[in-house]
Amino acid sequence: EELPLEMHKVRMVQRLDLVPVERRLKAIEEAGNNTFLLYNKDIYLDMLTDSGVNAMSDKQTAAMLTVDDSYAGSATFTRLQDKIAEIFGKEYFLPVHQGRACENLLSLAFVKKDTYIPMNYHFTTTKAHIMINGGKVLELFLPDALDSVSSKPFKGNIDLNQLQKLIDEEGADKISFIRIEAGTNLIGGQPVALDNFIETGKIARKYKIPFIVDASLWADNLHFIKTRDEKYKNLSTREITRILSDSADIVYFSARKLGHVRGGGIITNDEAAYKKLLEMLPLYEGFSTYGGMSTREMEAMVVGLDETMDEEMINQGPIFIKYMVDELVKLGVPVITPPGGLGAHLDAMAFLDHVPQKEYRAGSLAAALYIASGVRGMERGTISEEREEDGSDHFAAVELLRLALPRRVFTLSQVKYTIDRIAWLYENRKLIGGLEFYEEPKVLRFFFGKLKPT
Ligand code: F0G
């Protein structure tokens, strides 16, 4: 077998507990069978997300001590702005407190009521922001994007034919903007080909429709372009990033993922767009030289973005995910293939085919895996969808249990333990039943909703 190698050494550790299964049963019940509502003290391996919990490097931590703290005009901000311009080749940068803050500002500024926002795939908070502002999300993925067993290298691509057809039939003025999410979170961290960004950019320019890229998961996507696309494997990470950025009018990202800190930002060369966003920035985020981020995080982000251009750093997520996915495939466990970014994604649709989809297969699997292992994953299925206007459930196209691998956090033996527990659970899957809500928030119910066994 091919072992993924850690290209770092561990110099600071945090103690973990693996509480007994009786406590885990009690804990998940107290949490309403929602892994978001568990507490760390009851969790062995936290694979909920990579958001804000990737390991920071020694250089990032050191940079946090050399900040220039000030409300307005700090040198830390200038360093960050310069680093962004160097890497992305765009002049204007608006810092915000995290990724969804970008989505809030961009939706307020650019979503026109009753227009379409075509995209490769939605993300939860993106869709909610667009809908609140009266826009309609259209997912234009390719027919095989949702196949759980696949060897297609770039399942995240937007379907350019469908995009052209939409423009021909509805007219460019019915489209507020086109969005591509690098690394498609909700369909298993599947990457987008560089040519797909380039071609989308050309269509957008031809019809004068703004093209916005969500680059939160760009680090993994960049690794996949370098390793899966013959055409671009000889370009440097910086050259590829520049091509991506040049294809788009606006690039935004959650720095909780890209840059390994806690923050986010919007980048553009479009002065009018910048000014429009800038007007709203102090109202929702903060002054233009911090935007809700601490200067410490901004200083660490300068280093984090540089490190994101280091192939030996950004391969650490994908090679461990690949190991996990390949081993699960060998054991016959249904898992999304090819391995993507962010984490391993169990295919709960197949894993729990004896549970009706209305009883939330992915949510049930998340609760069961926690009980069986102390590992916390995240439901990415029907619970993560909003209900239809008539109150009925909108069934997700894919029911996934995501096991995120925050970069450089878990060791190979911890990954092996997780694989072993998943394999056990798969053999004993008939023990797992469905769930129903007993407390259900109206918006983004997956965060705070509570469920009980049916
Ligand atoms: N876009 C993508 C592709 C994301 O994955 C996320 C967050 C956001 C935007 C929003 O960024 O959390 O900083 O506000 N994804 C996290 C996750 C929450 O766990 O997948 P944020």
> Which ligand 1 atom is at minimum distance from the Cα of 183?
3
Hey, which of 36, 119, 130, 254 would you mutate to test ligand 1's pocket, going by the most ligand atoms within 8 Å of its Cβ? 254
pLDDT digits (tens, 9 = 90+) for 287-341: 999 999 999 999 999 999 999 999 999 999 999 999 999 999 999 999 999 999 9
Residue 383 to residues 86, 260, 325, 372, Cα–Cα distance (Å): 40, 28, 24, 21
Both 371 and 241 in a single domain?
A: no
pLDDT one-digit tens code per residue, 70-91:
999 999 999 999 999 999 999 9
Which is nearest to 369 in space by CA: 356, 378, 382?
A: 378
Q: Which residue has the tokens 């939409």?
A: 166
Q: What is the CATH number of the domain that holds 379?
A: 3.90.1150.10
Residue owning the nearest CA to atom 9 of ligand 1: 99
Average pLDDT over residues 213-239: 98
Q: What is the CATH number of the domain that holds 240?
A: 3.40.640.10
Residue 5, in any domain of the structure = no
Same domain? 280 vs 320: no
Task: Tell me how crowded residue 411 is: count the other CB atoms within 10 A of its CB.
Answer: 12
370-375: average pLDDT: 98
Using DSSP's 3-state secondary structure scheme, residue 35 falls into helix
Closest Cα to atom 15 of ligand 1: 51
Task: Point out the ligand 1 atom lying closest to the alpha carbon of residue 184.
Answer: 3
Looking at 312, 334, 367, which one is the last position of a domain? 312
CB 295 within 8 A of CB 76: yes
Instruction: Give the range of the structural domain holding residue 116, as residue numbers without chain letter.
Output: 58-312
Q: What is the pLDDT of residue 2?
A: 83
CA 235 to chain CA centroid, Å, is: 25
Nearest to 181 by CA among 214, 217, 140: 214
Say how many Å lie between the CA of residue 372 and the centre of ligand 1: 27
Which are the contacts of 145, defined by CB distance < 8 A and separation ≥ 6? Answer: 120, 121, 155, 156, 157, 187, 190
C-beta of 256 in contact with ligand 1 (< 6 A)? yes
Q: Establish whether residue 217 lines the binding site of ligand 1, counting it when its CB lies within 6 angstroms of any ligand atom.
A: yes
Q: Tell me: do 101 and 145 sit in the same domain.
A: yes
ipTM over cut 0.85 = yes
Q: How far is CA 358 from the centre of its chain?
A: 25
Percentage of the chain exceeding pLDDT 90: 99
**H or E stretch at 150:** none
pLDDT tens readout for residues 259-280? 999 999 999 999 999 999 999 9
Q: For residue range 158-182, list pLDDT tens digits in order.
A: 999 999 999 999 999 999 999 999 9
Same domain for 84 and 143: yes
Q: How confident is the model at residue 1 (pLDDT cuts 50, 70, 90)?
A: low
Residue 14 included in any domain: no
DSSP symbol at 397: S
Report yes or no on 354 lying in a domain: yes
CA 142 to ligand 1 center in whole angstroms: 23
Residue 182 in any domain: the answer is yes
11 belongs to a structural domain: no
185 lines ligand 1 (CB under 6 A): yes
**By three-state DSSP, how is residue 104 classified?**
helix
Nearest-angstrom CA–CA distance, 181 and 200: 12
CB 81 within 8 A of CB 90: no
Q: Is 386 exposed, middle or buried (0-12, 13-18, 19+ CB in 10 A)?
A: middle
The answer to whether residues 271 and 364 belong to one domain is: no
Ligand 1 site, residue 376, Cβ cutoff 6 A:
no
Domain stop point among 312, 329, 356: 312
At 426, the amino acid letter reads Y
Whether residues 268 and 365 share a domain: the answer is no
C-alpha distances out from residue 181 to 212, 222, 236, 251, Å: 9, 13, 21, 10
Residue 79 is predicted with a pLDDT of 98
Ligand 1 atom nearest the C-alpha of 255 is 13
Q: Known catalytic residues?
A: 71, 123-124, 214, 257, 380, 446
CB 52 within 8 A of CB 61: no
| Ligand 1 proximity of 77 Cβ (cutoff 6 Å) | no
Query: Are residues 120 and 226 part of one domain?
Result: yes
216 lines ligand 1 (CB under 6 A): yes
Instruction: Answer yes or no: do 206 and 286 share one domain.
Output: yes
Cβ contact 10:412 at 8 Å: no
pLDDT tens by residue, 98-119: 999 999 999 999 999 999 999 9
Assigned domain for 393 exists: yes
Tokens 């950019």 belong to 201
Last residue of a domain, one of 292, 312, 332: 312
My answer on whether 88 and 204 are in the same domain is: yes
Q: What is the count of structural domains for the chain?
A: 2
Looking at the fold, whether 344 and 383 belong to one and the same domain comes out as yes
Task: Please give the mean pLDDT across all residues of the chain.
Answer: 97
For residues 126 and 272, state if they share a domain: yes
The DSSP letter of residue 140 is -
- Is there a single domain that holds both residue 186 and residue 132? yes
CB atoms within 10 A of CB 259: 32
Q: What band does 126 get if pLDDT is binned at 50, 70 and 90? A: very high
Name the pTM for this structure. Answer: 0.97
Residue 100 beta carbon below 6 angstroms from any ligand 1 atom: yes
In a domain, 6, yes or no: no
- Beta-bridged to residue 439, according to DSSP, are 450
The DSSP element (H or E) to which 302 belongs, if any, is helix 295-308
Residue nearest atom 4 in ligand 1 by C-alpha distance: 216
Tell me which DSSP letter residue 388 carries: P
In a domain, 90, yes or no: yes
Q: Are strands 211-214 and 250-254 parallel, antiparallel or unpaired?
A: parallel
